[in-house]
Amino acid sequence: MAQAYMAEHMSGTAVFETVFRKLPQSRSYVMAAGLSDVVDFLETFQFRQADIDYLHGLRLFTEGFLQSLSAVRFTGDVWAVPEGTVVFPNEPIVQVIAPIAEAQLAETFVVNQIHLQSVIASKAARVVEAARGRMVVEFGARRAHGTDAALKVARASYLAGMAGTSNLLAAREYGIPAFGTMAHSFIQAFDNELDAFDAFARLYPGTTLLVDTYDPLRGVDHVIELVKHRERLVVAGVRLDSGDLGALSKATRAKLDAAGLNQIEIFASSGLDEYRIAALMNDGCPIDAFAVGTKLVVAQDAPALDMAYKLVEYDGVGRTKFSSDKVIYPGRKQVVRRLDHGVFAADTIGKPDEQLDGEPLLVPVMKNGRRLPQHDPDLPASRNWARQQIDRLPPQLRSLEATGWSYPVDISPGIARELERLRQAQQLG
């Protein structure tokens, strides 16, 4: 497409908007994430000689076009909602405003990162909500979809309020707290569990011991024996990773308390998601912290959004599309949000120059290809913003179960008029 734009001398400014059209059944909002990686990418985007050599070999591209690629940089502007912002269908998350070929070339990376990180942040926010203030840690690197996802899942989960990750590389890359406990294999490698616990606790005072390799309650007995009878061993927690976590956590708490070890915390993992955690919390289980893996890191119940990167304006003219189920609202947009007593009440998707009541969600993040430092929050600041967003959600949206109620998002008169005008032009044309 870039070559065709060049051949047609089409170098006008395009506006592309990254939006999703429908909420998955088990989501009542999406938490936007991934912008930081998009800005990094656009600031450094270029074709290397090896890339151009490969394209040359495909015999699809002219010499002139291939030569022009080596000079391509992203020179456009970007507007976006800050990471952690709660968004709804048809609201632009990232708006790329650039010469059409540049903007088109950015599509796959922009959608890939905003999609993944928003899918995960949206899931993680629900998991955090379900835990009602108890700590939740992301433990799923091995089952995330590839190495990039293993990093980005840790980042998006932390953005959405999780306490940290077991992925050391992500912890280092993003300054996220690192958590780790032993694996079953460590226990198994010793001839008995007590020796394994002893070795680990001597090396890591204050560690968490995994008690369910053979029999979880005997494992707890071993921890008690260790702490009571071996000098100077400090154990901060025990982890349950299988079976009926509700019953086991209660029995574990009872054993620890009876031994006077009230300070030892209980850590639970194994197949957890927001529904399991909510059920455990409703049952009053004495679990102090949750480790969440697979169902979070692949967003098991909603692994994808129908997110796309839509051309809405080219060369100053609003553009649309009328394929049966996928209408595009034409023209560059702004979204405004109204609050009622500190709670999100309704949004309007309008034109940037329309007078609309409410706070604008989209802010400028890049100008002429460079990031704008005033709109470049660090991860802790984005995490605070995400927390505030969740605190302002209507209670129907914070519920884990679908309530049948949708957050009201309407289209401004300006957008509606423009859509109607294009529809008529299309019917005549």
Rule CB under 8 A: which of 187-216 touch its own copies? 188-189, 191-192, 199-200, 202-204, 212-216
For residue 357 the two structure tokens come to 């009541």
Shortest distance in whole angstroms from residue 116 CB to its own copies: 5
> Would you count residue 107 as binding its own copies (CB under 8 A)?
yes
Q: 360, 333 in Cβ contact below 8 A?
A: no
Locate 207 and state its tokens. Answer: 């560690």
**Rounded distance, CA 138 to CA 304, Å?**
19
- By the rule CB under 8 A, 295 interacts with its own copies: yes
**Cα distance between residue 327 and residue 340, in whole Å:** 31
Binding track over 323-362 against its own copies, x by CB under 8 A: xxxx-x----------------------------------
Determine, following the binding rule CB under 8 A, whether residue 182 of this chain makes contact with its own copies.
Answer: yes
Determine the interface stretch with its own copies among 251-259, 278-286, 319-327, 348-356 (rule: CB under 8 A): 319-327
Q: Should residue 46 be labelled a site residue for its own copies when binding is judged by CB under 8 A?
A: no
For position 7 contacting its own copies by CB under 8 A, the verdict is yes
Question: Measured from the CB atom, is 125 or 422 closer to its own copies?
Answer: 422
Q: Is 155 in the site for its own copies (CB under 8 A)?
A: no
Paired sense of beta strands 235-240 and 265-268, if any = parallel
| Burial tier of 346 (Cβ tally within 10 Å: 0-12, 13-18, 19+) | middle
Q: Tokens for 377, please give them.
A: 């929050």
* CB-nearer residue toward its own copies: 60 or 258: 60
253-292 residues in contact with its own copies (CB under 8 A) are: none
Instruction: List binders of its own copies among 125-154 (CB under 8 A).
Output: 141-152
Please report whether residue 168 would count as binding its own copies according to CB under 8 A. yes
Q: How far apart are alpha carbons 118 and 114 in whole angstroms?
A: 6
- Which of 89, 303, 360, 364: binder of its own copies (CB under 8 A)? 303
Q: Which of residues 14-33 bind its own copies (CB under 8 A)?
A: 14, 16
- Residue 366 near residue 42, CB atoms below 8 Å: yes
Name which position in 11, 46, 48, 60 contacts its own copies (CB under 8 A).
60
Q: Is 98 in the site for its own copies (CB under 8 A)?
A: no
297 vs 397, beta carbon nearer its own copies: 297
Amino acid in the structure at residue 203: L
- Do 333 and 351 touch, CB atoms closer than 8 A? yes
Distances (CA, A) of 317 to 74, 100, 310, 313, 344: 22, 13, 14, 5, 32
Q: Nearest distance from residue 293's CB to its own copies, in Å?
A: 9
Q: What is the Cα 286 distance to its own chain's centre? A: 29
**Least distance (Å) between residue 142 CB and its own copies:** 4
Instruction: Give least dist CB 23 to its own copies, A.
Output: 15
Please, what is the Cα angle at 7 between 5 and 13, to 5 degrees? 30
Assign 325 to helix, strand or coil.
Answer: coil
CB 66 within 8 A of CB 56: yes
Shortest distance (Å) from residue 239 CB to its own copies: 12
CB of 7 to its own copies, least distance (A): 5
